[in-house]
């Protein structure tokens, strides 16, 4: 036996990796697969159609039901509840259970509830007691019932993302080539006016614009990068937050006035969230819409920027 098993544990599977520790009153069914160097704490139950990666910690009181997929380096806190049937009835079983995926490096806090069919993205963090009803993007921190994004993690997951607030003086952002630009403001008795032009304050000549508005505060926009397109974001009314990410560094910028713009160059992953009810986000683009210019999968993005 290449793993450690407490005498009070029941392990029916033969698929457990080297160095894994199985503590008292754990029950693992025959079809389950558990990786190496895992820690299964007291009173953990793992059903048949379950895969657990390497170096996973599962704290006490957790049940992994059919359809749960846990990738490497995941932490699951005490009494986290997984579900696999959106309409459960006694003695009525679906032909196939929903697949729930917890991606590499994610952490789930104590007493959180995960609805069926959810994907929790790479390195994401679910706050204790949260009820996760929708997919969680990579690197997002979610909290509440229902769980909503409240922040994003940085490379050191114990720290929160650096936030540039509108009251701060304009600083150089830690994300490669992303830039904040302040426009002039002209004020007189007739009101206020701001302007920009190319060449001048605009970082490129726009060929397209679009407006994002009436976004429910819980919703997230963006979550993609462009291969060649430049974008320039201005919140002309209300406010929103934009997270920019170059694959190594990320930061959050608050846009809350029409005199402040954010340049998002190609190959920068951008996400917009924390929209106020009255927010209107103006986006200037350097080219017309091209579907193949979008990179919508974060893992694919990381592979491309690493080259």
CA–CA gap between residue 180 and residue 64 (Å, rounded): 45
Q: Which among 59, 81, 26 is positioned nearest to 16, based on CA atoms?
A: 26
CA–CA gap between residue 254 and residue 238 (Å, rounded): 11
The one catalytic residue in 224, 226, 230, 263 is: 224
Alpha carbon of residue 111 to chain centroid: 20
* Active site (annotated) includes residue 224: yes
CA–CA gap between residue 136 and residue 273 (Å, rounded): 13
Cβ-Cβ contacts under 8 Å for 35 (sequence gap 6 or more): 17, 20, 52, 53, 54, 55, 56, 72
Q: Are strands 208-213 and 10-11 parallel, antiparallel or unpaired?
A: unpaired
Query: E strand or H helix at 299, and its extent?
Result: helix 298-306
Contact status, residue 291 vs residue 274, Cβ threshold 8 Å: no
- Beta-strand ranges (E) seen in 83-207 are 100-102, 107-108, 113-114, 119-120, 125-126, 131-132, 140-143, 148-152, 162-164, 179-182, 185-188, 191-194
Query: Which amino acids are annotated catalytic?
Result: 224
């Amino acid at each position: 036996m290449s793993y450690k098993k407490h005498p009070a544990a029941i392990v029916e599977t033969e698929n457990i990796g080297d160095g894994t520790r199985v503590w008292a009153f754990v029950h693992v069914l025959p079809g389950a697969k558990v990786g190496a160097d895992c820690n299964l704490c007291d009173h953990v139950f793992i059903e048949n159609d379950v895969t657990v990666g390497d170096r996973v910690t599962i704290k006490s009181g957790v049940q992994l039901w059919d359809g749960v997929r846990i990738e490497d380096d995941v932490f699951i806190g005490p009494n986290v509840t997984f579900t696999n049937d959106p309409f459960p009835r006694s003695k009525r079983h679906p032909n196939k259970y929903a697949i729930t995926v917890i991606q590499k490096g994610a952490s789930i806090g104590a007493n959180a509830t995960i609805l069926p069919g959810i994907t929790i993205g790479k390195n994401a963090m679910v706050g204790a007691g949260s009820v996760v009803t929708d997919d969680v993007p990579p690197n997002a921190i979610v909290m509440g019932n229902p769980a909503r994004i409240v922040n994003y993690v940085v490379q050191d997951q114990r720290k929160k993302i650096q936030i540039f607030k509108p009251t701060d003086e304009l600083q150089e952002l830690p994300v490669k080539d992303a830039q904040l630009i302040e426009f002039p403001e002209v004020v007189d008795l007739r009101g206020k006016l701001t302007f920009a032009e190319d060449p001048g304050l605009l970082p490129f000549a726009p060929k397209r614009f679009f407006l994002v508005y009436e976004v429910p505060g819980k919703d997230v926009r963006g979550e993609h990068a462009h291969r060649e397109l430049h974008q320039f974001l201005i919140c002309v009314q209300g406010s929103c937050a934009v997270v920019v990410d170059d694959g190594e560094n990320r930061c959050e910028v608050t846009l809350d006035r029409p005199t402040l713009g954010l340049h998002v160059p190609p190959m920068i992953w951008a996400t917009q969230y924390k929209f106020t009810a009255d927010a209107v986000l103006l986006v200037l683009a350097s080219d017309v819409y091209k579907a193949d210019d979008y990179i919508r999968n974060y893992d694919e993005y990381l592979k491309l920027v690493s080259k």
